[in-house]
């Protein structure tokens, strides 16, 4: 289903235009809005179908674009002999962005969380959060740029 950005839409005039990827705007009439959609706003990302209208192609079944695909989360829980618990969570959004969360809770209730975020360009952001059993929190952020070889 094609997607585009609303160039403008007027409920009073009952029509508007959507900017398409091919740089051609497509007409949308208020009757072309999907069931339950009463209006669309400027700059809103929408998805639609194309039908031949009286004066050329027009968008029908227009609705806000679906949310980004859900990230895939892989979780692993490890308990060692001392009763310390480690949870490793890795999420990949399918576009090359990866988030890894490594949480370690020891037997005394101290928690050490390290979150590593790597975007598709190889930029890495590391946040370390240490919380002791008394609720004291220390946060350290480290930013790194990947080597461009």
Instruction: Please enumerate in sequence order all residues whose Cβ is within 8 A of that of 45, keeping only pairs 6 or more positions apart, or say none.
Output: 3, 4, 5, 64, 65
63-83 pLDDT, tens digit per residue, is 998 765 555 556 566 677 777
Whether pTM > 0.85 for this model: the answer is: no
**Which ranges of the chain have pLDDT less than 70?**
67-78, 84-105, 107, 109, 111, 113-115, 129, 142-149
Pairing of strands 98-105, 85-92: antiparallel
Query: What 3-state DSSP class applies to 119?
Result: coil
Strands (E), 24-136: 25-29, 45-53, 56-64, 72-79, 85-92, 98-105, 111-118, 124-131
């Amino acid at each position: 289903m094609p997607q585009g950005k609303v160039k403008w839409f007027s409920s009073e005039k009952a029509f508007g235009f959507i900017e398409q990827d091919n740089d051609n705007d497509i007409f949308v009439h208020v009757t072309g809005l999907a069931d339950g959609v009463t209006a669309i706003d400027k700059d809103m990302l929408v998805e639609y179908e194309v039908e031949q209208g009286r004066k050329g192609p027009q968008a029908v079944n227009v609705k806000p674009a679906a949310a980004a695909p859900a990230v895939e989360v892989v979780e692993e829980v490890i308990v060692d002999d001392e009763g310390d618990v480690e949870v490793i969570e890795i999420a990949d959004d399918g576009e090359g962005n990866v988030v890894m969360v490594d949480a370690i809770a020891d037997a005394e209730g101290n928690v050490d969380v390290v979150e590593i975020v790597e975007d598709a360009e190889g930029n890495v952001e590391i946040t370390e959060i240490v919380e002791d059993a008394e609720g004291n929190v220390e946060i350290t952020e480290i930013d790194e740029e990947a080597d461009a070889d």
